[in-house]
Every structure is written in C-alpha cells, then in structure tokens.
Amino acid sequence: MIEKIDAKSFLDDCDWPIIDVRSPAEYEYAHIPGSFNIPLLENDERAEVGILYKKSGRQDAILRGLEIIGPKMAGFVKAGFRISPKRQLRIHCWRGGMRSDSMAWLFSTAMFEVKTMIGGYKTYRRYIREQLNTDVKYVVLGGKTGSGKTEILHELSNLGCQVIDLEGMAHHKGSSFGALGELPQPSSEQFENDFFEIWKTMDHTRPIWLEDESHFIGKVSIPEPVFEKMRTCHVIRVDMPLELRVERLVKDYANYPKQGLIEATQRITKRLGGQHAKNAIEAIEQGDFKTAIEIVLFYYDKTYNFGLSRRSSEKIFTVEIDTINAGINAEKIKDLMQTLSF
C-alpha cells in the first residue's frame, strides 16, 4: 500500500523509518535527521542519466535509468528489511517525483506499507522554514568570551530549562579558535535541519535558551528566522571577571597543538593589530598561554561590547558571577529568571 502525505504528516509518523532515495552526495550535503540513504542512483549514475536527459530526452534517460536500477532491486528490498522488519517505510526524494515513486512501488510489491512525501525534500525544507518563523520565545545567554556560557547552558538544561546548544550542533565554538578539537562542520542546511529536529520537540509556551552568537558560527549560518528573533529577544548577560575568564580559557586551550593556536591567531591579525598578533604568537610559542589569551581577549571584548551596544538595554539583564563553577552560575541565572516576568 502506498499513501502520499504532506510534510507535516510525514514527519509526525515518527515510528516508521525514513528512506531518502536521493544520491549519496545529496544526502551527505543535508538530509532529514535520522533518515537512511538508499540511493536509487549513485552520484555518477545520476549524473549520467541527467546528461542523457538533456541530450536525448526523457525516454532515453528513463530506459538508461531502468538498466542501472534493475540489477539493484533485490538489494534495495533487502536493505529495507534490515531497516524496517515491520515493513513500514516513509520514502522521499528531492521533489516527490519519479525516484520516490519508483522506490515506493518496489517496496509495495514486497508487501511493505509505504508513505511518500508530497513535494519531497524540497517541501520539507519549506515546511521547516515556515515552522521556525512562528512566534516562539527565545532567551539568549550572553557574556564575554571565556565566561563559560556553553557549560552554563548545559547546567540550565539539567535544571529543567529548554536549551539548544548551537555551538555543539555546529561543531564550532564561534571564534577564530572555535574549530580546534571539533569534528568537521555540517552544511548550513543540515544545521538548520538538526536545529528543527530539536526545536519541534520543545514546549513553545516556555522559553528556549540559546547562546549569544553572530550570524555565522564558523562557516555555518544560524537559520534566518531564528537569528532575527535572537537579535530582539531578552538577554541574560553573565559578567565574569577577566582573571577568571583567562583561567578558564587557559584550561580549555593550553592542551591544543601550538601550531593550531598560532594559525587561529594569524587569522585575526588584522583585527588584533600586527604587533599584538606578533606578541600573542610569541607567547604561544613560549608556552605562556595566559599572556596570549589576555592579548586576544582585548579584541574579543571590544567586539562583544559593540554587539551588546546594538541591543535594547531594556532587554538586557546582568548576572555578576565570581566563580568558574557552571552549576553555581546556572543556579544564579535561574533564580534571576524567576523574578522576571517576560
């Protein structure tokens, strides 16, 4: 049995595995989180059929596609059995056209129950953008570099707050040094898909906590509807003394290879100023991470203060903190939130 359903219904049927039949390259670039890739055509095969379609037309392209797919059909069904022993699958391609229809037909002949998404992955992308543009209350946790905002957010989550860890999802800590020790970044499209996957599970009558970020976290961009709301929502700003921030950052970065730290410093030479960058690099080479971090923080603090000045002061609430203990700091922030009415 094959049933065609809209994007919302397709995503709501969460017990049925999702099969993405697009090419491996399409899937690798971005896909619905948790989906499985059973490509109808491999990357080179898809390119071959596409070229033939342009040169010789639809009929020749379809015939060549069938020649390629025919020997693989048993393998597709075997993969389907492994993924869904209950024989229930959701299947989609890019536009909800021939690729998903063909695979749906094949699985239905093997006695699978199949649901396909009308409009395919393209419609899914439009749907999540519409959803992320709805009225949701965000609270941004701000503070200068080294204040331990990510750790505080994790502690707030442990205290029952709704938190989305943007930097964790982006595999980047947000500065020139942010890629150190991290996995390769996802595409911005995949980041948005991953964000929605968490966002949709949350109670939208309660605040969702995010860390204060620029539009780009490394090479990944925050979804536009979310970023626009982040720029106008309330900010809880943690104010940690410089010496504690330096202490935290030395602990975080001193174990990374010196060459990586030097290259990250070189990337911000123009912003630091040539002499400051030179002094910071020399300090790194000598293992004097405290001095290097103090030099770099001078630049990042100025950048943060400028960004904060562009927000409405009426929406900024400051929490003074005098410890690097994220649990204690999260408790202070939660206590403040209980006194606020927004």
**CA within 13 Å, CB half, 175:** 23
**CA within 13 Å, CB half, 32:** 30
**Placement of tokens 């693989």 in the chain:** 72
Catalytic residue among 14, 93, 161, 233: 93
14 given a catalytic annotation: no
Rounded to whole angstroms, how far apart are CA atoms 233 and 142? 12
Query: What are the structure tokens assigned to 338, written together?
Result: 């209980």
**Placement of tokens 């109808």 in the chain:** 40
DSSP 70: G
The dihedral formed by the CA atoms of 262, 267, 268 and 269, expressed in degrees to the nearest 10: 70
Rounded to whole angstroms, how far apart are CA atoms 297 and 155? 25
**Placement of tokens 């999540």 in the chain:** 128
Query: What are the structure tokens assigned to 321, written together?
Result: 């903190």
Find the farthest-apart pair of alpha carbons in the chain and give their distance in angstroms, rounded. Answer: 72
**Placement of tokens 């869904």 in the chain:** 84
65-81 burial by CB neighbour count: b if 16+ within 10 A, else e? Answer: beebbeebeeebbeebe
Query: What are the structure tokens assigned to 217, written together?
Result: 């976290």
* Phi, psi angle pair for 276, to nearest 5°: -60, -45
12 C-beta neighbours (distance < 10 Å), count: 11
What are the DSSP E strand ranges found in 101-176?
113-117, 138-143, 162-163
103 C-beta neighbours (distance < 10 Å), count: 26
The dihedral formed by the CA atoms of 261, 267, 272 and 275, expressed in degrees to the nearest 10: 80
Active site residues: 93
